Amino acid sequence: MLKNELIILVLLISSLGYSQEDEYVYGDKPSTPKSSSKSSGFDWSRTTVGGGFYAAFGSNSYFLIAPTLGYHLTDNLVAGVGVNYAYEKVTFGVTYPYKSNTYGGSIFSQYKFGDLPFLAHAELEYVNINVDFESGFVEDLNLNLINPYVGGGLKQQMGRYSYFYGLILFNLNETKESNIVQQNPVIRIGISVGL
């Protein structure tokens, strides 16, 4: 019984391990790779721009803009940088009304799982948060935070290097201060457009 299972396992592994990009039939003359006149340097067509934007106005207002610039190192791996700015004014439903300004920058990488709609994301973000309490009874806050995020989500491909995405990210450095600003998990929706 064990011998039969071992034979099936070996056949399964060998069939999965045998894959070739080019179709080759025994006896065919092997093809030589064509020389390319294109250099292997920086390629603007692999560059993406995008990010996210959000706005809500009323007695509690929130505005966020977060542009990104990325580069496809491979067809599935993207690395890039981003900046962000957020303004929040809360006057309704809190004991101490406040205004806050948050600004910062980040470096990130994303891995796209080929034609599947899945996306993995890792990011290191630095932000500065200034909170101004309007009542004067509470001391204003000025925080500098480093937030490492990991997570993933879904993407909707629109072209070779363009896609919409929705992410669920977890802050690996969650502290009392970072929890004031945004609690785990962080949900992001954005776009990446190839140039």
104 within domain boundaries: yes
- The tally of domains found in the chain comes to 1
156 within domain boundaries: yes
The reported pLDDT for the residue numbered 5 is: 57
Query: In this predicted model, what pLDDT tens digit does every residue of 138-167 receive, in sequence order?
Result: 788 898 999 999 999 999 999 888 999 999
Judged by average pLDDT, the poorest of 6-10, 117-121, 158-162, 164-168 is 6-10
Contact criterion met (CB below 8 Å) for 121 and 167: yes
Q: Which residues contact 92 (CB under 8 A, 6 or more apart)?
A: 58, 59, 60
Q: Which domain holds residue 167?
A: 46-194
- For residue 172, what is the domain's CATH number? 2.40.160.20
37 within domain boundaries: no
**Statement: the pTM of the whole predicted model exceeds 0.75:** no
60 within domain boundaries: yes
| % of the chain surpassing 90 pLDDT | 52
27 within domain boundaries: no
